[in-house]
Amino acid sequence: MKVFKFGGASVKDAEGIKNVYSVLEQVGHKDVLLVISAMGKTTNALEVVIKNYIDKSPELQSSLQDVKKYHNQILLDLFEEENHEVFTVVNKLFADLEYFLKHNKSPNYNFVYDQVVSTGEMVSTTIVSQYFNYRGLQNQWLDVREFIKTDNTYRDAIVDWEHTQQNIVKKIQRKTLNITQGFLGSDENNFTTTLGREGSDYSAAIFAYCLNAESVTIWKDVQGVLNADPRYFENAILLNQISYREAIELAFYGATVIHPKTLQPLQRKEIPLYVKSFINPLLAGTSVSKGADLEPHTSCYIVKKNQLLISLSSLDFSFIMEENISEIFALLHQYKMKVHLIQNSAISFSVCVDDKFGNFSELKKLLSKKFKVTYNEDVSLYTIRHFTEKSVNAVAQNKEVLVKQVSRETMQVVTKEKI
């Protein structure tokens, strides 16, 4: 069996769904498990619904209506008959969501989040499955929550591999086209859980691992894995082949094409991963597989914008020791700071973090009680794998370098634009 994953960009509208159908017609669909994300920016739109629900905002109904209208337009564009059963099924899914919002008693934001955002994947896969049947491509729609079992760490659930494997091996039908949701699972009480943002790639890897799949293909709007993000770097080139190790390194440092959790289960069973274009599906794309000889022969660039560089030094010039670092990291965790780089000396400690939740002002108050705190906002963190002097100079050009860190294969620099 092969596992295909299509993300939100590939099914953002009716033309996208028709294109996915075309891709399967070209590359084959027998004995395929299709993992599909929510359509377009639906997850973001449902996050607005959640915010309005939590805030008891009068905008709740209009934000929910926006999501419903978006999907209804896609249905109208795909199906000629407005009495097609898909309209009833999708309306039922939204009715279930509204019922939850009216009757939920849990104050746990993360629990609410998972129950609400999951509607996106349930609706998208329902529409795709029904459209394929409508076009004569028979398929089996699967509720992923019956297969992937997790703990109850809502929004970042940990997979129960034993029960998940049992479910998948027992229930998945082979020699047919199966369609299911990415990103989702369920806990022991059958409440919906999610695997972390962009977790649909991970879902595909879970199914592949449990099914001993032939391969996994992630279909993107780019031709494969590039050595740099073309939004920030000119002349980005395609990496035709890379090793699991290299892909894990790139994902760890922030390359967005492959989700970090995806690679480990595939590597364990040496299941090849392909990253291909749903715009040009017959192109080779990038293959990720075993082999030290598959390292890129070019520098690879990853950039994280809008970062925060925090530098701490002791108030009395004493050493910053293990107990200090332990306390600092506990606070970084408490205030949800994602750490991307660390550098320390005897009396100073610097971290480059992503303040995604805007908690730095509160964190700074606590840190200032024990440390002198200086910081630089809106900095950029560049990571260069297989760096050369030329690649480093290109990144640092016209920028102020605040921190530089070098290992055998990787260089990281924190920069700020010169004023």
Higher per-residue pLDDT: 309 or 356:
309
CA distance 396 to 231: 17
Helix (H, G, I), strand (E, B) or coil at 34: strand
Q: What number of helices (H) and strands (E) belong to the chain? A: 12, 16
Dump pLDDT digits (tens) for 281-340. Answer: 999 999 999 875 666 778 999 999 999 999 999 888 788 888 889 999 999 999 989 999
Q: Do the annotations mark residue 162 as ligand-binding?
A: no
pLDDT confidence band for 175 (50 / 70 / 90): very high
* Predicted pLDDT of residue 259: 76
pTM of the model: 0.88
* Predicted pLDDT of residue 292: 58
* Predicted pLDDT of residue 207: 98
CATH 3.30.2130.10 residue ranges of the chain are 300-417
> How high is the mean pLDDT of the chain?
94
Given 3.40.250.10, 3.40.50.620, 1.20.120.1200, 3.30.2130.10, which CATH number is that of 300-417?
A: 3.30.2130.10
What's phi and psi for 352, nearest 5 deg? -105, 120
Helix (H, G, I), strand (E, B) or coil at 177: strand
**What is the per-residue DSSP string for 59-80?**
THHHHHHHHHHHHHHHHHHH-S
Q: Do the annotations mark residue 193 as ligand-binding?
A: no
CATH 3.40.1160.10 residue ranges of the chain are 2-213
pLDDT above 80: residue 419: no
Residues 6 or more apart in contact with residue 218 via CB below 8 angstroms: 5, 7, 201, 204, 257, 258, 262, 273, 274, 275, 276
pLDDT confidence band for 245 (50 / 70 / 90): confident
* Predicted pLDDT of residue 295: 63
* Predicted pLDDT of residue 318: 82
Indicate the pairing of strand 338-344 with strand 371-385: unpaired
The CATH code of domain 2-213 reads 3.40.1160.10
* Predicted pLDDT of residue 174: 92
Dump pLDDT digits (tens) for 179-231. Answer: 999 999 999 999 999 998 778 999 999 999 999 999 999 999 989 999 998 88
Q: Do the annotations mark residue 400 as ligand-binding?
A: no
Q: Do the annotations mark residue 174 as ligand-binding?
A: no
* Predicted pLDDT of residue 293: 64
pLDDT above 70: residue 269: yes
Q: Do the annotations mark residue 47 as ligand-binding?
A: no
